Structure 1
Amino acid sequence: MGDDRKAMYDGWSRTGEHTMEWARIANAFMTQAFASGCTVAKCPCKNCKNRLRQYRHEIQVHLCKDGFMPEYLVWHEHGELEHASESDGNDDEDRMDEMIADVGREYEKESPPEEVQKFFRLLATSDEKVHEGTNVTVLQAVTRLMAMKSKYNFANNCYNGILKLIIDLLPSNHKMPKDLYQSKKILAGLGMNYEKIDACENNCMLFWKEHENDTHCMHCNASRYVEVVSDDGEQVTTKVSVKQLRYMPITPRLKRLYLSQETAKQMRWHSEGKRESEDKDIMVHPSDGAAWQALDRFDPEFAKDSRNVRLGLSTDGFTPFSTSNSPYSCWPVFIMPYNLPPNMCMKEGYIFLAAIIPGHKHPGKKINVFMQPLIEELKELWQGVKAYDSHKKCEFTLRAAYLYSIHDLLAYGIWAGWCVHGKLCCPICMADTDAIWLKYGKKVSFFDCHRRFLPSNHPERRDIQSFRKGRKVTKGPSRRLTSEQKMAWHEKLKESVEGGFEGYGKEHNWTHISFLWELPYAKPLLLPHNIDLMHQERNVAESIISMCFDFTGQTKDNLNARKDLADLCDRPGLEVRTNTSGNESRPRAPYCVKPEERKQIFSWLKTLKFPDRYAANIKRCVNLNTGKLNGLKSHDYHIMMERLVPVMFRGYFKPDLWKMLAELSYFYRQICAKEVSKKMMRQWEKEIVVLRW
């Protein structure tokens, strides 16, 4: 076929005097490209290079004027499927034109839903070129500029200035918008709008639905709008809201995933996709886990259609302004569709920003107030909404369900409604805990609480010297409550006169009842809340490194810890010593390196080199003068914990201590792997109790 089509290039002329053979091949190409009855197709000219879709007459003009793109002897982008390469679903190019054409083909065959028709009517009106000398459309130019504004945090005036410079460089008949306002008007019709919902200053309520026209909070009587004092000394109420929730509905964006033919196909990967390993013991995707399968058993009809979406949720507070300014913490809420393959579901392009909870402080137990729009939308998605599948070219009922959330521990407590401070801080053990209060450390400790998780005949249960002195452990492991049992507990809670629930801090740590329990499918959720492994691994790595290097002011092995150790344990060699002058000191522990050994390790760290994009330049964080590690990020601790800790302490610690660190490092490597063995996880669940302590 390649030899037959050499005239595609040999027969084309810049002067327009193309050969008859070139014209025959060009006509054959046009017949092939529009054989399916579509109105637009990818243009293979030297300028478009199959990146843009054009109408039939436009492609003819482009080919006559510019000729075919190089090395396109096989028309794999235009129906010759036997030569087409399969997409891996990880293309970073702008796929908007493909999404338009995927659904646009169906206009002449059947009528899509009104919502889809409205979307494509908008795109059709916006599909005009910036000017006659370019193939870039106004919509493409504006979306790229707005993406740059978001990515690089352009100020509004900066965006207007850049746009003015671009306009000055364009011909006078250009179609570009003149400012940010006009740019937003173009993008507004894409259906990605967000709602501004006024909130009470004290987070008591949203001025929403039946309270949309209220001017004061129904609970605390705080004003909805900012009140100022006029020049006459009178108090004037403005129309500026004191606090606003930005909510971005997720239903239109879930529907939009199915408007792209390739993405619609990938959304069924969890059920129909091919895995590299056929071993049922290997987990590579959330669908391989028990939480996903429990939801499927709860509603077989939901599980039957692989297009139904399982959603993950994550939130945390961050300070958008400089830390030198007054403190301000806002909370973005992100949604992840887990139907997609492992290499796509956590990519930036498929993570939805659902809401931005305003500050100045974290929402605390009043987070339910801000989540009202989301919970209502989740309920609607469970019942189902109409959507259009461009891969199967049909309308279907799209359903979605919350699967679990991922947070750090503090956000976990806010989201779950369980306070993670105090003696009952563990959200798993809950009231069934053996935590103790440290007299000198002034904090709660879970020291020696692990032995209850050992087998009943384990010898360490009867050890009265290695752990808390004189203490044997006969108690069994704490019982993990199911979602149904937690909901039953909630029904028994009684509100206290002072606020909160009776028995708080003694019988339980419930601060509020999470909105998630309102979902009709809350009972089968096995893991409604989860701790982010990144935060947990960083905390463990930071504690180990600061303790082993004995960093002053950072190590948890301080004087107060040694004093508590004297009260709790039988380890006289580690107790605080007092000299004749009354000064207290700590004997060097066997898990701390000496100053000269620390210098040797730091000198070795200075020589380390990693492959590109594997790790940061850790040697920049090593300060040989102060003997400390400065500026390590979460990913740096990830590399240190899983790769460097077993190496850098080998030979400096006794074999049994080094082996414990090496096994802990191996444990984190296993649970952070792309493929996880269920059998190995069950084994680690038993061994980590001994290993960690």
Structure 2
Amino acid sequence: MMIEFIKDILPEGETLLKSHYEAKKVLWDLGLGYESIHACKNDCILFWKEHEKDDMCPKCKESRYKRVNVKGKKIPHKVLRYFPLKPRLQRLFINRKTASEMRWHKEKRTTDPEEKVLRHPIDFEAWQEFDKKHGWFADEPRNVRLGLASDGFKPFGNMSTTYSMKTVILIPYNLLPWKCMKEPFFMMCLFIPGLKSPGNDIDVYLRPLIDELKDLWEDGVETYDASKKENFQLHATLLWTINDFPAYGNLSRWSTKDKMLEPKHLSDDDILTQMEAIKHVEFEKRPNTKKRKVNVNELNWRKKSIFFELSYCRTLKLRCNLDVIHIEKNICENVIGTIMNIEGKIKDTPKARMDLQNMGIRNELWLVPNGDKYMVPPACYTLSTDEKKSLCQWLRDVNFPDGFASNIA
């Protein structure tokens, strides 16, 4: 109705599309569409490839569909949106300027051998060792090196505290350092639905992307380079992932919870040997499912990462990175949420107090029995109402240099 109203007030000759459906058709014709892939409600499988025609999950036996609408159309429980990677990489070379900049790291980058400064991912040892091990890939500067980032978000903001979605984004590192990390070149590949994050079951949803990355490494895709006015075979590789701490655990499969071990450097063969000890790992979130017992030989691994299906993964020097700025932001939010006693953000919970008692420390913070209930003693950081108002006033008024911090207010 709003579009029809706007069309009526626009001058003659306007070309505004009539509906959201027409806008989607234009995007599809430009190669900006996506694939809708149904998923099991318990995150067991994708109804894709060999399971494309199944109406029921072969693992948990749950129906693929939750209901039939008034038009007789079956509505699936979950729909994964997958944005194919190949056409997006090809589009980087359609523009002459961007196509030329995709070779910047090899042809125009200037370095001082004695100055050890990290200005671009190519300065990392991980990039340089990869080039030594895969010379055929490094010989073609247009071959694309990618980083993968994944994080969840609430599409409805604070209006819904339970519904969360997850995105998987790829970043092409061939570009200049002031361009490769800019939003116009970010490529969202997966849009994962769900009331909660898929957690360790994210491997199920990564399957289409991993299959395409395999193909891009082994066979590549024919691409037109507008800057050189020629076709070439484009290949791509995934160098590493960048995540906050929980997502790091889900993607690397090294548990960031429970009992932690003393960290030590492991060779590629050591890691693969440890992962081979992991047996009978199933992807599912059925209620009342017993937690799988962890074998002592598995150390802190929870399963073998799907990224090891990429033949070059074992040769990578640095597979997973921690996003320090993201982690600092989360810690800041948790500290403020705790001292402000914000519901859903506070970390000073009764369970945390019970943990202190179990460890035999900080006895002034232990829960105090009061009849059939327990009292939570105030901590040294507990703020009064006036102190909370003062903190909020400071957060509203504080100013930082441009680019130094986000809008903390």
TM-score (norm 2): 0.80
Q: CA deviation at 1:483?
A: 3.8
2:18 to 171, 178, 191: 178
Partner Cα separation in structure 1 for residue 353 and residue 121 of structure 2: 43
Within a 5 Å distance, the mapping from 1:430-445 to structure 2 comes to: 432-433=261-262
Partner Cα separation in structure 2 for residue 347 and residue 501 of structure 1: 41
Q: Does 2:99 correspond to 1:264?
A: yes
Q: Does 2:42 correspond to 1:207?
A: no
CA distance change for structure 1 residues 266 and 499 in 2, over 3 Å: closer, same or farther? farther
Q: Please name the residue that 1:340 is paired with.
A: 175
Q: CA deviation at 1:199?
A: 1.3
Q: CA deviation at 1:255?
A: 0.6
Q: Does 2:315 correspond to 1:519?
A: no
Q: Please name the residue that 1:354 is paired with.
A: 189
Asked whether the equivalents of residues 36 and 79 of structure 2 are also in contact (C-alpha less than 8 Å), the reply is yes
Partner Cα separation in structure 2 for residue 239 and residue 598 of structure 1: 51
Q: Please name the residue that 1:327 is paired with.
A: 162
2:274 to 489, 492, 495: 489
Partner Cα separation in structure 2 for residue 584 and residue 266 of structure 1: 60
Q: CA deviation at 1:358?
A: 1.3
Partner Cα separation in structure 2 for residue 182 and residue 562 of structure 1: 57
Q: CA deviation at 1:567?
A: 5.5
Within a 5 Å distance, the mapping from 1:629-668 to structure 2 comes to: 632=408
Q: Residue 408 of structure 1 aligns to which amino acid in structure 2?
A: D
Partner Cα separation in structure 1 for residue 88 and residue 376 of structure 2: 62
The structure carrying a bigger helix percent of its residues is 1
Partner Cα separation in structure 1 for residue 389 and residue 6 of structure 2: 55
Partner Cα separation in structure 2 for residue 516 and residue 264 of structure 1: 28
Q: CA deviation at 1:575?
A: 7.9
Q: Residue 405 of structure 1 aligns to which amino acid in structure 2?
A: T
Asked whether the equivalents of residues 333 and 354 of structure 1 are also in contact (C-alpha less than 8 Å), the reply is yes
**Higher relative contact order, chain-length normalized (CA < 8 Å, sep 6+):** 2
Query: Alpha-carbon deviations, 1:94-135, whole Å to 9, x = none?
Result: xxxxxxxxxxxxxxxxxxxxxxxxxxxxxxxxxxxxxxxxxx
Q: Does 2:133 correspond to 1:298?
A: yes
Q: Tell me the secondary structure at the aligned position of residue 411 of structure 1.
A: helix
Query: Alpha-carbon deviations, 1:183-209, whole Å to 9, x = none?
Result: 332332111221011111211111111
Within a 5 Å distance, the mapping from 1:450-469 to structure 2 comes to: none
Asked whether the equivalents of residues 313 and 405 of structure 1 are also in contact (C-alpha less than 8 Å), the reply is yes
Asked whether the equivalents of residues 412 and 529 of structure 1 are also in contact (C-alpha less than 8 Å), the reply is yes
Q: Please name the residue that 1:169 is paired with.
A: 10
2:257 to 417, 421, 436: 421
Partner Cα separation in structure 1 for residue 308 and residue 258 of structure 2: 24
Q: Tell me the secondary structure at the aligned position of residue 523 of structure 1.
A: helix
Partner Cα separation in structure 2 for residue 342 and residue 165 of structure 1: 42
Asked whether the equivalents of residues 500 and 512 of structure 1 are also in contact (C-alpha less than 8 Å), the reply is no
Asked whether the equivalents of residues 576 and 586 of structure 1 are also in contact (C-alpha less than 8 Å), the reply is no
CA distance change for structure 1 residues 264 and 494 in 2, over 3 Å: closer, same or farther? same
Query: Alpha-carbon deviations, 1:24-61, whole Å to 9, x = none?
Result: xxxxxxxxxxxxxxxxxxxxxxxxxxxxxxxxxxxxxx
Partner Cα separation in structure 1 for residue 200 and residue 32 of structure 2: 30
The structure carrying a bigger strand percent of its residues is 2
Asked whether the equivalents of residues 284 and 342 of structure 1 are also in contact (C-alpha less than 8 Å), the reply is yes
TM-score (norm 1): 0.49
Count of aligned positions:
389
Q: Tell me the secondary structure at the aligned position of residue 274 of structure 1.
A: coil
CA-atom RMSD in angstroms: 4.1
Q: Which has the higher mean CA deviation after the structures are superposed, 397-406 or 357-366?
A: 357-366
Rg (Cα) greater in structure: 1
Asked whether the equivalents of residues 268 and 339 of structure 1 are also in contact (C-alpha less than 8 Å), the reply is yes
Q: Residue 365 of structure 1 aligns to which amino acid in structure 2?
A: N
1:242 to 70, 77, 83: 77
Q: CA deviation at 1:333?
A: 0.8
Q: Please name the residue that 1:366 is paired with.
A: 201
CA distance change for structure 1 residues 566 and 218 in 2, over 3 Å: closer, same or farther? closer
Q: Please name the residue that 1:196 is paired with.
A: 36
Partner Cα separation in structure 1 for residue 144 and residue 49 of structure 2: 27
Within a 5 Å distance, the mapping from 1:1-400 to structure 2 comes to: 158=2, 160-161=3-4, 164-166=5-7, 168-171=9-12, 173-227=13-67, 238-275=73-110, 279-325=114-160, 327-383=162-218, 384-400=220-236
Query: Alpha-carbon deviations, 1:425-451, whole Å to 9, x = none?
Result: xxxxxxx33xxxxxxxxxxxxxxxxxx
Q: Tell me the secondary structure at the aligned position of residue 204 of structure 1.
A: coil
Q: CA deviation at 1:276?
A: 7.8
Partner Cα separation in structure 1 for residue 8 and residue 379 of structure 2: 72
Q: Residue 481 of structure 1 aligns to which amino acid in structure 2?
A: L
Q: Residue 273 of structure 2 aligns to which amino acid in structure 1?
A: A
Q: CA deviation at 1:281?
A: 0.4
Q: CA deviation at 1:180?
A: 2.5
Q: CA deviation at 1:398?
A: 0.6
Query: Alpha-carbon deviations, 1:65-120, whole Å to 9, x = none?
Result: xxxxxxxxxxxxxxxxxxxxxxxxxxxxxxxxxxxxxxxxxxxxxxxxxxxxxxxx
Q: Residue 413 of structure 1 aligns to which amino acid in structure 2?
A: G
Within a 5 Å distance, the mapping from 1:492-511 to structure 2 comes to: 492-495=277-280, 503-504=294-295, 508-511=299-302
2:322 to 510, 531, 546: 531
Q: Residue 419 of structure 1 aligns to which amino acid in structure 2?
A: S
CA distance change for structure 1 residues 575 and 326 in 2, over 3 Å: closer, same or farther? closer
Q: Please name the residue that 1:96 is paired with.
A: none
Q: Which has the higher mean CA deviation after the structures are superposed, 481-490 or 255-264?
A: 481-490
Q: CA deviation at 1:613?
A: 5.8
Partner Cα separation in structure 1 for residue 66 and residue 376 of structure 2: 57
Asked whether the equivalents of residues 501 and 510 of structure 1 are also in contact (C-alpha less than 8 Å), the reply is no
Q: CA deviation at 1:307?
A: 0.7
CA distance change for structure 1 residues 276 and 576 in 2, over 3 Å: closer, same or farther? same
